[in-house]
Amino acid sequence: MPEQSSPLDLAEGDPFGPHNLPYGVFSTTGHPGERRVGVRIGSHVLDAGAAAHALGSPYAQLLAQPDLTALLAAGRTAWRDVRRALTAWVTVPAHRADIEPLLHPVDAVTLHLPYAVADYVDFYASENHATNVGKIFRPDGVALTPNWKHLPIGYHGRSGTVVVSGTDVVRPSGQRKAPSDAAPVFGPSVKLDIEAEVGFVVGVPSEQGRPVALGDFRDHVFGLSLLNDWSARDIQAWEYVPLGPFLGKSFATSVSAWVTPLEALDAARIAPPARDFPLLPYLEDGGEDEPGGLDLRITVAINGQPVAEPPFATMYWTAAQMLAHMTVNGASLRTGDLYGSGTVSGTEPGQRGSLLELTWNGRDPLDLPNGKRTFLEDGDEVTLTAWAPGPHGTRVGLGEVTGRIVPTP
């Protein structure tokens, strides 16, 4: 009888190999109320707390938690040491007898929001996206506002409506008013949109009154996830003057169930796009040894049909610059803070990360197998996937984020 292969014997090039090891939180059918920290390896998830206990790790208590909060707060030295231990546990043959019984197929477990979201901030860091939006809404004016290239623009969102991938999104209702309407009306959004983004997860907090410098980014940020900031464009357009996004954004933000540690993305680090002029010193990212950009390749699919491939490498503002600006006034960080990059869009039409841009505000509908789309219809399912270059020619897979639109109650 042939020997059964191990779940640790991965196919060559598996994007969730030992070079990746993203973190999540899962529960099993047998113990649905017991949430555990897990690490993805191939098509399985390793019960990290049980593995640490079985192998006598000093980090057993840190990993035997119902979510990632304790690990996030533990700091960069612990992040590095835990990652090294996990890599050994899934690669050293002597550990297999202990590790294999603690592996669960990913499709047989329930994945949960992996940490308690403390605060949520969303940025507007893609020059291509901001330019497209400016052309759509200010066709006779200057596309970018005067401040855009001087500071990372952002707004504070609603942390309580950040949901894990796979959660249905209820079509929001609110006020809307088209330019030709005499008065606003109330009802379900008719311009429900997506925003393909990357979210950064804060681990170590900071003291109020003390800004976080660019060079301290990796001491505070644990990792990243794909993020879809659902947007009701008609509600947003009527409400956002003069204070910015509110109900058009706050009804739901979907994040991946997996958080990829920054250390797994070292091979994907690149220089950001060239600047037109020097930035103010607190934002000046000139370190060639520590480039702040990331080469992440995102795919947006609607009902299984790819519609765009936004490249994160084109983002004008880096994650470190966003963090520095977010705290430069003395605002503090908390463990579990999440901040989004804003919509990722490239220079080509097929690289736009929102339907607002892809259809040019409904002017140019998309042709999908189940019909044309300007904005999302009830029943539509949106999936974001991505990968990044890894060490030695590998790919680092980012956990997908999926959401399905359900009708307004």
Query: Catalytic residue positions?
Result: 129
Q: How far apart are CA 284 and CA 280, in angstroms?
A: 6
